[in-house]
Amino acid sequence: MYKTVQVKDIIIGEGAPKICVPITGETLPRLIAEAEQVRTLDLDLVEWRVDFYEHADDIEMVKKTLGELRAALGDMPLLFTFRTSEEGGQREIMPADYVALNQAVAATGQVDLIDVEWFNKEQHVRELAEAAQAAGVRVILSNHDFDKTPPAEEIVSRLCRAQELGGDIVKIAVMPNSMADVLILLEATNRMKEQYADRPLITMSMTGRGVVSRLAGELFGSALTFGSAGRSSAPGQVPVGELRGILSLLHSELTKG
């Protein structure tokens, strides 16, 4: 049984893909300015990419800034992500600190979702996911390959593993080195959605080459797409102002049959 994920009044896994916009400020004033800007845009969720933040290694500072960010964002659904440099992010972190940071943030009740990297780090993932879920926070289990696109079987098997590990949503981002790689990602997404997915999945092929994967998620099975407002957090993100129109067009054509 496929189970959608409701975050506030957004239902992920139903209808057109939801739009998530990352904010990437290094300082509190930058973050607040970005929060105020994104509030004016047509989007569904905001992602705080805390690895860009200057005090990301200080849990107390992160919690304080999160409080201010939450106030600036109002009711908008918020995803908290520390992206490690191993998976394309801005900084390194010790596994124990990663778990402690995510656990502390989930316990504040001020985020709606957290992103947890699981690949090669399975040991603490279940524990972290369960603690977050017990605090009412949804968990995206994610994996990123910034060098290549693994074969479709491998992509599907990683997404299945992330389901087994207990994510509410499972995600993979891969790098295409050819258009054939983009097709591999789309094929894997479609196969996952049709045969194995019991919860929403998010997939993307990065850079301009992979852009179709950020637009056509509803056709192939990806439930959410990251759009940019200002600085993008990964290559290939489409400006958010243009995204909704494209997603809506594809949705209406698809539902016409």
Tell me, yes or no, if 171 is annotated catalytic.
yes
Q: Is 47 in the site for ligand DQA (CB under 6 A)?
A: yes
Q: How far is the CB of 255 from ligand DQA (least distance, A)?
A: 25
Return the closest-CA partner of residue 69 out of 98, 107, 27, 102: 27
Is 83 known to sit in a ligand binding site? Answer: yes
Is 92 known to sit in a ligand binding site? Answer: no
Tell me, yes or no, if 144 is annotated catalytic.
yes
DSSP string, 126-179: HHHHHHHHHTT-EEEEEEEESS----HHHHHHHHHHHHHTT-SEEEEEE--SSH
Give yes or no for a contact between 52 and 58, defined as CB atoms under 8 angstroms apart. no
Name the residue nearer to ligand DQA (CB basis): 115 or 168.
Answer: 115
Q: How far is the CB of 39 from ligand DQA (least distance, A)?
A: 19
Return the closest-CA partner of residue 205 out of 160, 246, 247, 147: 147
Only one of the segments 70-78, 151-159, 193-201, 233-241 lies at the binding site for ligand DQA (rule: CB under 6 A); that segment is: 233-241
Q: How far apart are CA 149 and CA 146, in angstroms?
A: 8
Q: Is 173 in the site for ligand DQA (CB under 6 A)?
A: yes
Q: Which of 144, 193, 251, 256 is catalytic?
A: 144
Q: How far apart are CA 248 and CA 21, in angstroms?
A: 17
Show the site string, 74-103: x = touches ligand DQA by CB under 6 A, - = not: -------x-x--------------------
Q: How far apart are CA 252 and CA 257, in angstroms?
A: 9
Catalytic residues: 144, 171
User: Which residue numbers belong to the known binding site for 3-dehydroquinate?
Assistant: 47-49, 83, 214, 233, 237
Residues placed in the known binding site? 47-49, 83, 214, 233, 237
